[in-house]
Amino acid sequence: MAIDGIFLNFLKNEIADFAIGAKVDRIYLPSKYELVISLRTRTEAKKLFISVSGNSPRINFTEFSPENPMTPPMLCMLFRKQLSGAVIKDIKQVGFDRILMIELDATNDIGDRVNRTLVIEIMAQYSNCILLDENGVIIDALKRVDSSKSSFREILPKLPYKLPPEQDKLLLNESTPEQITGRIMLQKEKSLSSAILSSLGGISPLISKELSYRVSLGDPRVGELSPIMTERLTFEIASLAETVRENNVRPCYLTDENGEYLDFSYMPLTLYDNSAKVNFTESLSDILDMFYFERERLIRARSKAEDLFRTVSSLIERTVKKLNIQNEELEASEDMETKRIYAELINANIYSLPKGVESYEVPNFYDDYKPVRIPALPHLSPAQNAQRYFKEYRKAQTAKKMLTELIEKGNADLQYLLSVQDELSRATGERELQEIRAELSSAGFLKSKTGTKNKKNASLPFLQFTSPSGFNVFVGRNNLQNDMLSFKKASKNDIWFHAQKAPGSHCVLSLEGKEPSDRDMEFAAETAAYFSSLRERGMVEVDYTKVRNLKKPPGSNPGFVIYHVYNTVYVKAKDPEKNK
C-alpha cells in the first residue's frame, strides 16, 4: 500500500517521540531524491530517511541508509549550511494530508537563532522535500517545480510556499461516523470501497477495501447495502476514528507462501483471508525499511551504474558486430583450397592453354579427370593467372589463421563483457561500481584516467554466507575478486561452484579440513545459481569441483578459468540470506 494520511499520522507520532529535542548531527544526499538526516540525543542516534522518488516516497527511521557519493552535491551543502546543529522543535501534519512540517531551531551565518521548516510532501510522483525560512519562503527543494510543470504551484527559491489544494473529503477528527456514513450512502452506484475512498480523507485504496471487506466480506455497490451492513459501516468508521485518536497503531505486513512481501498497514488486514500471512513488527519504520530496501537498492544501483551499463552494452554490441564480420570473412576464406587447385591445374596444363580468354577448361586430376572450368583474367597469361590464384590462396590461408585467433579472442571478450554486465546487475553501491570500472580498465576495455590522483579505497571483502552446518561460503563480487577467491583465498581442497556455461560469480565452500553434508553442498550450489545470470530460471545447472582442478590460461580475461574434472547438480537459485 502507499503511505496514506492516517499512516503518516502514526508515523509522525513515532518519529516525534525521538526527534523532538534531538539535534541535527549530519546531513547526506545519497541521490537527488533522497535525504538522510542523522539525529542525536544525549543517549542515542538515529538516521531519518526521506525519499521523494515517485515509486516509493516516504519518511522513516532507517537502519539501511544508502551509500553516499564521494563528493557531496551543492544542494547537500546548502542543507548542511542551513540545518547543521539545528534542534527539532516540533513535527506537525497538515490535517490528514500527506504533508509533514518539521520545525527546527537553527543558526544563521552570524550566529543568530532562526526558524527553519522542512516540508515533506508524500504524494507519489509529486512528492517533494522543501526547506523554508522563518517567513515561509522557499530556500530550496529536492525537486524544483517551475511554470512549465505547474502553473498553480511553483516550487522555486525565493517564492512563498503554498499548500496543495484541499480535497472535498470528511476527516475522522472533524466529522462523526454517522456523517461520514451519510456521505458514503449518497453514492449508491459506486462500489463501497470507491465510495469510502472518495468520502473519507486520509485513507488509501487498501484501507477502503479493508473496511468494505469487514462490512460485507466483499465490495458491493453502496445501493445494495442492507441496514445491518450500514450499521456495520458506521461501527468500522468509529473504530478507525478511535484507533487514530488513541494512537493504537499495530504495524504489520503481509507475506505470501514464499515469504515475498505483499502489503503493509497500521492495522491488521483481513481482506487477503488465508492467502497471506500477517506479520507484526514494533514500528512503522521497520516495515518501510523491510518493504522498500531491497527494491530501492536495485533501482539505486542500476541508476548509479547507468553509464557503465551503457558502456558495457555498447562494448558487447561492438564485439558481436565485429564477430559477425570476422565469421563472414572466415567463411569466405574457406574456398582457399579451390584456389590452390586452380593454380596447380593451370600450371599442369600451362603449355596447352590459350592467352586472352576468360576461362580455361582443363581435366581435374583431383576429381577423376572430370573437366573443370577455371575463371581467368584475359589480360593475364596462364602463368600469371596461376600466380594470382597461388597469391589468393596464401592470403586466404593467412587470413584464416588470423581470423580464427581473432574470433577466439572475440568470443572470450564477449563472455567476459557478459559477465561484467551480470556483475553490474548485482552491484549494490558506489564502491562496487568503482571496482568494476577498475576491472574494465585493467582488462583494457576502458581507458584509465590520466592526470588525476584518485584516492584508493580498501578493496571490498568477499560476500560471505553460512551453510546449514556452519561452513563459510564465499562469493566474488566481480571478476577480479573471482580470481582472488579461486586462486589465493581458497584452499586446494575447498569446493568451487559456478553456474554452467553462464556469467556468474565464483562461489567457494570453505571446508577447513572437514566433510560437508549434502545440504551444505546444495546450499553452496543454490548460492552460486543465485549469483549468476540464470537466477530467474527455474532449475539451474551448477558445476562443482575441487579448487585444485581449476586452471587459469595465461593472458585470459579476469574471472576466466578452465576445468575438466567436475560434477554437475541441478538446483533452484535461492537467496542465501533467506535460504536457511
With a CB cutoff of 8 Å and minimum separation 6, the contacts of 305 are 424, 427, 433, 436
- Asked if 53 and 71 touch (Cβ cutoff 8 Å), the reply is no
Q: What is the pLDDT of residue 455?
A: 52
In a structure prediction context, what are the per-residue pLDDT tens digits for the chain, which is 580 residues long?
578 889 999 999 999 999 999 999 999 998 888 999 999 999 999 999 999 988 889 999 998 777 787 788 999 999 999 999 999 999 999 888 999 999 999 998 888 999 999 999 998 888 999 999 999 999 999 999 998 887 788 999 999 999 988 888 999 888 999 999 999 999 999 999 999 999 999 899 999 999 999 999 899 999 999 999 999 999 999 999 999 999 988 988 888 877 778 888 998 888 887 778 888 888 999 888 888 876 666 666 666 677 788 888 899 999 999 999 888 878 777 777 788 888 888 888 888 898 888 999 889 888 888 899 989 999 999 999 889 988 988 888 888 888 888 888 889 899 999 998 888 877 777 778 888 888 888 888 887 665 444 555 567 899 999 999 999 999 999 999 999 999 999 999 999 999 999 999 999 999 988 999 999 999 999 999 999 999 888 799 999 999 999 999 998 999 999 999 999 999 999 989 877 6
- Asked if 251 and 286 touch (Cβ cutoff 8 Å), the reply is yes
Q: Rounded distance, CA 251 to CA 285, Å? A: 9
Kind of pairing, strands 370-375 and 359-364?
A: antiparallel
Q: Rounded distance, CA 318 to CA 333, Å? A: 23
- Asked if 39 and 49 touch (Cβ cutoff 8 Å), the reply is no
**pLDDT per residue as tens digits for the range 207-222:** 999 999 999 989 999 9
DSSP 488: I
Residue 56: Cβ within 10 Å count: 19
Q: What is the pLDDT of residue 293?
A: 74
Give the residue from 376, 398, 477 showing the smallest Cα distance to 431.
477
Q: Rounded distance, CA 293 to CA 295, Å? A: 6
Which grid cell is 543? 558445476
Radius of gyration of the chain, Cα coordinates, nearest whole angstrom: 35
With a CB cutoff of 8 Å and minimum separation 6, the contacts of 543 are 497, 498, 499, 500, 563, 566, 567, 568
Burial classification of residue 151, based on how many CB atoms lie within 10 Å of its CB (0-12 exposed, 13-18 middle, 19 or more buried): exposed
Cα torsion through 91, 94, 96, 102, rounded to 10: -20
Q: What is the pLDDT of residue 369?
A: 84
What's the number of CA atoms in the CB half-sphere (13 Å) around residue 387? 5
State whether residue 496 is helix, strand or coil: strand
Buried-state track 18-30, b at ≥16 Cβ within 10 A, e below 16: bbeebbbeebbbb
Residue with cell 572437514: 514
Which string of DSSP letters, residue by residue, matches 336-398?
A: HHHHHHHHHHHHHTGGGPPSS-SEEEEEETTTTTEEEEEE--TTS-HHHHHHHHHHHHHHHHH
**pLDDT per residue as tens digits for the range 506-522:** 999 999 889 999 999 99
Q: Rounded distance, CA 156 to CA 143, Å? A: 9
Q: What is the pLDDT of residue 401?
A: 86
pTM over 0.75: no
CATH of 177-299, one of 1.10.8, 3.30.2420, 3.30.390, 1.10.10: 1.10.8
With a CB cutoff of 8 Å and minimum separation 6, the contacts of 574 are 526, 527, 529, 530
Which grid cell is 346? 593451370
Q: What is the pLDDT of residue 452?
A: 46
Judge: domain 5-141, CATH 2.30.310.10.
Answer: yes
Give the residue from 130, 29, 36, 106 showing the smallest Cα distance to 74.
29
Which grid cell is 265? 498497514
